[in-house]
Structure 1
Amino acid sequence: MRTWIAVHLLHPTLDTLCPDWRRLAAVVMDHDLVRVCSPLAWETGVRPGMRAGGVNALCPQAVLTQYDEHIHQSAMQAAALALLQYTPELALDEQDTLLLDVTGSLSLFGGIRRLYRRIQGTLQGLCLSARCAIAATAGGAWLLATVPTVACVAPSGAITACAHTRGRRCLKLHSLFGRLDTLPANALPAARPYEAWLDNIGCGTLGALRQLPRAGLQRRTSKQLLQALDAAYGKTPEIFEWITAPLQFHGRIELVERIESTEAVARVAGRLLEQLCGWLTGHQQAVTQMALLLEHERGRHARPPTPLALAASTPTRDPAHLMRLLQEHLHHLKLEAPVIAMALEVHRVQDLAPVPDDLFPDPGGTPQDRQRVIDIILARLGHDRVLQPQLHADHRPEMANQWAAAGPSRIVGHTVQGGERPCWLLEKPLPLAVRRNRPWYGTPLHILHGPERIEDGWWDGWTQRDYFLAEDEAGIRYWLFQDRRKKLRWFLHGVFG
């Protein structure tokens, strides 16, 4: 049995052009007619189909927004691209509804509850209001998402924020059948042309529609109505055309109002990051370098865009990590001019290996988790204030291990055949006393292994040493050497853990 999540976007145009519609009397006009309105506008008497003059008379404080098909489609594409993070089987259905087949994604995201919360967080990051539903069939999920419930009364044309209720979660077929039977018959688009005839015969719900003789129902309606009804109840296969990510990522947002604070920049840039992560998941890739361009005034007062470079030491496509990295960079940014648009450019990506599913995971987290912490520290303090160990191709221990500015490691390594190296090296070798022909460091040191001869550095002072592994009476092991240029004197150079 499959698991579907339907995401019904209530109105992308209103979310894009008037993000504060929940607190305002917002109205979307289409050719001088009301297309949709917010709950506050509905309470004043504004209705779909009303002219602008009637809106101004009933609600003078209403914020009128002109419907834009391009903005509407751009918002739908942005939502589809961002939701590709969770499944490649994503389809666009009627009434601005996206259908996600998440059957193969449940174990990856820790179950349906966690996955559902992740999808809700993505929609919130995109600033899109949506009504979601979970069902065992795509048609059933679509119906539960598009039809308002008693807990979320939304008259036609009135946008309300709808939270997830138990009535929108039907993971088993028998519970889905009972929930669908209570829905109105006109919830199916194919049944709306025959709504008057169905009302006359007392068929007001999908359950009653199922009880009608199929042959007679097909003669009086259409074959599409029976197909849609069977698909919703899981009696016929459902075929969709899946949405695929474009070959190149182009993320850009034109702002309705100027932005003058970095907090607002972070909120808008989060929408671009969600789209980027969906695009990366669709191509099974991860990003290491990108740039956020903050565009300013054009025309006579034009200013060049402000670039904000973002770099991750390890490939990532986690929107939470990228957002945290962006916020750290924004803390150090001072806007020199208002921002009117933003664009996200991807400079370097690479293929990402599948996430390992270890039987015994490391309790300290994966190396990627630890590297993400380092990325945040670098963004907060700067690369010149954070050091990391770096190897150099030199046989002298004090030269082979050095500190360098944090960043991508450029290691020119060399292997040591048969040699042991201690965990700690002294900053400067410590001369040792010799008693009874043995080196002395608190107690006599007994030689266990050696010598290992190292001769190097002829260009800046010849180094000639014989290294030994020694142990004291307490069992602590040391790394010693004899300097052949200083009459075989003993020196302590390192301590083993």
Structure 2
Amino acid sequence: MLWVALSLPCAPDETPPSSDALHALATWALQFTPCVAIVDEAVVLEVEASTRLFGGRRALHDRIAGQILDLGVDGIAWAPNSLAALACVRTKVLNGVRQPLPELLDALPMQVLSAVAPHHLTLAQLGCRTLGDVRRLPRGGISRRFGKDLLDALDQAYGLRPEAHRWIALPETFHARLELMARVETAPAMLSGARRLLVQLCGWLAARHAGTTAFTLRWTHDTVRPRDTCDGGELTIRTAQPMREAGHLYQLLDEHLAHIALQAPVSDLALEVTDVLPLQERSASLLPEARSESESLTRVLERIAARLGPQRVRQPVLREDHRLEWMQHWQPAPQPPSRQPLAPYELPQPTFVLPEPQRLAMRGHRPLYQGPLMLLTGPHRIEGGWWHRTEDDASTHHVERDYWVALSERAGVLWVFQQRLAGDDAAWYLHGWFA
């Protein structure tokens, strides 16, 4: 498993981040994975299943790290579970997956685990300074003296017990609010705070696989303002097509705010999206998507062959031959079939065929394959191929076989045959098996 922890800075008086700020960060993080939760003062993401989608761990890390600066995030850490990631982000350890988890956590201060906080003083008096010191205490004593919660938290942090989280649900609508650090007296100065709201909006749109053609920025004037001024103002930005690129939306907002004069200083900003439309995205898959519901498989295969090369995309074509080895051949998919489709064979045909028939052991006159075989139906006699000669024209591929559908207790239903007219060497062969 791979977890990411993101933390917001605390206030100067050590007040933890507000619930609204954490939920805004969690909503933005939903574009990377649906497994997002709030744990104490941080947001944690389970991203193991998303690494391949975003091009690997390094690419995913660079993408997250490149956007969190605009969101005010001051800490990011990676670890095998959420509590370990939270412990790492509290101690500014960026990568918690480079070394074994017990070795990493044992060296961290014990207060990085929230469950230690109620017992910090007692544990310190016992001589504990790190998580390793706490973990080395007798488990029975920890459970009796400090309760089960501390022991469970230790086990979860060290990966010995599964974790349970309440995942954040993606809101149906987007509305974000931001209280500015200081009063803003000019409209262009609002861009710094608006940029954070735009990044949150684009994260929400990415999680919904959508874009917006209209969003509204609202601002609230400070309470200390002239009596004849209104409470605030708003600005609606529209785009010609669905969009969710934060950079482009930021440039549009910058151009519009340059023409606005504020009646009073601004203390709060709010961003709301009004028009949301599905966004047609470029597929990252190797296989091209169908351009319409009615597009045939043939056209899709032609485009795949054009991308990979005609020799890399092949299709099976049936031949008028009852011998299993030569009943079909493979040809490049873009080419038209060399023969017309044949009527289905009345005889049962195996799902999987061996490249070469495998000779079976015998017990008396009974074939064996992972135990004795029970012959169900047969014989299905196949004879022919005298005309099929090799390149040196020295031998033919003439066959005379009696095929049977056989049952094995362990291997399932098999397709076996016996050579006809073989005399005393009437051996049995396995040629395929049924799914």
Shorter-chain TM-score tier: 0.5 to 0.7
Aligned-pair distance for 1:276?
Answer: 1.6
The answer (yes or no) to whether the contact 1:83–1:122 under 8 Å persists in 2 is no
Aligned to 1:106: 51
CA drift of 1:3 comes to 1.0
Q: Provide closer, same or farther for how the CA distance between residues 4 and 226 of structure 1 changes in structure 2, counting only shifts above 3 A.
A: same
Q: Deviations over 1:35-94 (max 9, x none)?
A: 33xxxxxxxxxxxxxxxxxxxxxxxxxxxxxx7x9x823322322222223222111112
Q: Judging changes above 3 Å, is the alpha-carbon distance between structure 1 residues 133 and 255 closer, same or farther for their aligned structure 2 residues?
A: closer
Residue in structure 2 matched with residue 291 of structure 1 by the alignment: 216
Residue 195 of structure 2 corresponds to 270
Cα deviation for residue 116 of structure 1 reads 3.1
Q: Is 1:72–2:18 an aligned residue pair?
A: yes
CA contact (8 A) 2:187 2:262 kept: no
Tell me how far apart the structure 2 counterparts of residues 142 and 125 of structure 1 sit (CA, whole Å): 21
Determine if the alignment matches structure 1 residue 82 to structure 2 residue 28. yes
Which of 160, 165, 168 is the equivalent residue of 1:235? 160
Asked whether 1:310 is paired with 2:254, we answer: no
Selected match of 1:205 from 125, 130, 147: 130
Counterpart CA distance in 2 for 1:256 and 1:301 is 25
Residues 199 and 105 (structure 1), Cα distance of their counterparts in 2 relative to 1, 3 Å cut: same
Deviation string, structure 1 residues 136-164 (Cα, Å, up to 9, x no partner) = 11111011112x35xxxxxxxxxxxxxxx
Which one-letter code corresponds to 1:244 in the other structure?
Answer: A
1:337 alignment partner, one of 263, 286, 296: 263
Cα deviations across residues 369-414 of structure 1 (Å, max 9, x unaligned)? xxxxxxxxxxxxxxxxxxxxxxxxxxxxxxxxxxxxxxxxxxxxxx
1:222 is displaced (CA, Å) by: 1.7
Q: Which residue does 1:93 correspond to in 2?
A: 39
1:124-203 matches, cutoff 5 A: 124-126=69-71, 128-146=72-90, 148=91, 167-171=93-97, 174-203=99-128
**Alignment-mate amino acid for residue 352 of structure 1:** L
Structure 1 residues 238-257: aligned runs within 5 Å:
238-255=163-180, 257=182
Does 1:348 find its partner at 2:293?
no
Q: Distance in 1 between matches of 2:139 and 2:6?
A: 31
Counterpart secondary structure, 1:301: coil
2:3 paired residue number: 4
SS in 2 for 1:109: coil
1:262 Cα offset (Å) = 4.3
Secondary structure of the residue aligned to 1:300 is coil
2: CA distance, partners of 1:117 / 1:338: 40
Say if 1:258 and 1:338, in contact at 8 Å, map to a contact too: no
Unaligned 5+ runs, structure 1? 15-26, 28-34, 37-66, 150-166, 362-497
Q: CA offset at residue 308 of structure 1?
A: 3.3
Q: Which residue of 2 aligns with 1:154?
A: none
Question: How many residue pairs are counted as aligned between the two chains?
Answer: 285
1:222-276: CA deviations, max 9, x gaps?
Answer: 2111111111111111110011132322233344544233442211111221222
In structure 1, what is the Cα distance between the partners aligned to 2:261 and 2:60? 37
CA contact (8 A) 2:186 2:262 kept: no
1:197–1:337: structure 2 CA closer, same or farther, 3 Å change rule?
A: closer
Tell me the percent identity.
Answer: 36
1:306 shift after superposition: 5.0
CA distance in 1 between counterparts of 2:97 and 2:42 reads: 19
Give yes or no for contact 1:93–1:99 (8 Å, CA) kept in 2: yes
Displacement of 1:335: 2.1
Which letter does structure 1 place at the counterpart of 2:35? E
Whether the 8 Å contact between 1:293 and 1:307 is mirrored in structure 2 is yes
> Does the 8 A contact of 1:294 with 1:339 survive in 2?
no
Structure 2: 5+ residue runs without aligned partners? 289-435
Query: Are residues 110 and 81 of structure 1, via their aligned partners in 2, closer, same or farther at CA, if it must alter by over 3 Å?
Result: same
Separation (CA, whole Å) in 2 of partners of 1:184 and 1:289 = 49
Task: Give the structure 2 partner of residue 429 of structure 1.
Answer: none
Change (3 A) 1:282 1:9: same
Q: Which amino acid aligns with 2:205?
A: L
**C-alpha separation in 1, matches of 2:256 and 2:278:** 26
What amino acid maps onto 2:201 in structure 1? L
- 1:148-200 per-residue CA deviation (whole Å, 9 max, x = no partner) reads 35xxxxxxxxxxxxxxxxx430225x533211110123332323344444345
**Does the C-alpha gap of structure 1 residues 87 and 321 become closer, same or farther in structure 2, counting only changes over 3 Å?**
farther
Q: In the alignment, which residue of structure 1 is the partner of 2:60?
A: 115
For 1:339 and 1:108, how far apart are their aligned partners in 2?
45
1: CA distance between counterparts of 2:51 and 2:101? 20
The Cα of 1:360 is off from its aligned counterpart by 9.1
Q: Which residue of 2 aligns with 1:421?
A: none
Q: CA 1:261/1:234 → structure 2, altered by over 3 Å: closer, same or farther?
A: same
TM-score between the two structures when normalised by the length of structure 2: 0.58
**1:426-449 Cα deviation digits (max 9, x unpaired):** xxxxxxxxxxxxxxxxxxxxxxxx
Distance 1:196 1:343, change over 3 A: closer
Check if 1:214 corresponds to 2:158. Answer: no
What's the secondary structure of 1:273's corresponding residue? helix
**Following the alignment from structure 1 to structure 2, what is the Cα–Cα distance between the partners of residues 294 and 185?**
44
Equivalent position SS for 1:123: helix
User: 1:4·1:136 contact (CA, 8 Å) conserved in 2?
Assistant: yes
CA distance in 2 between partners of 1:200 and 1:251 (Å): 46
Structure 2 Cα separation of the partners of residues 198 and 75 of structure 1: 33
1:87 partner letter = T
AA matched with 1:337:
Q
